[in-house]
Each structure stands twice: as C-alpha cells, then as structure tokens.
Amino acid sequence: MRETPWERPAAHYDPERMARDDVCPNLWAFDPAGQRAWLQSANEELVVFVTGAAARGQGAFMGFVY
C-alpha cells in the first residue's frame, strides 16, 4: 500500500456514481471536488493503519460506523 501512489486509487473516484449509489457518507453529492481531499486523507490514514499492523506482524480489523 505504501508504494501505491495516491493517484492510482483516486482514478476510481466517481462522485456522480457514489451519490447515485448512496455511498456513505453521501457527501459526494454536495461537494464532489472537496471530498477528493477527504479521500486522500482517509487513504493516508488507512496506509498508516495497515502498514503499522503488518510491521508488528498483526492482523487488522476495522469497523465502519456512520
């Protein structure tokens, strides 16, 4: 994950489809451009979480609460 540039997952960002499919949280309909920055930040946090667990030889569980 650390080696994957942010632009690679960002290429899949489709705010119109996410709003249409009611992807939670449905912020995509209100500020599609601004949410790209939020997605980048969330991706960076996910990389830290996953690589940290891997460095310790641990598994990782993540819950999503909205």
Q: What residue segments make up the domains of the chain, in order of their start?
A: 7-55
Cβ atoms of residues 49 and 59 within 8 Å: no
The residue-averaged pLDDT of 14-19 equals: 85
Q: Which residue has the tokens 């997952």?
A: 9
Q: Which residue has the tokens 């632009």?
A: 7
Per-residue model confidence (pLDDT) at position 44: 92
Q: What percent of the chain has pLDDT over 90?
A: 18
Cβ atoms of residues 1 and 50 within 8 Å: yes
Q: Which residue has the tokens 């819950």?
A: 63
pTM of the complete model: 0.69
Read off the pLDDT band of 55 (50, 70, 90): very high
pLDDT, tens digit (0-9, with 9 covering 90-100), for 32-52: 777 888 888 888 998 999 999
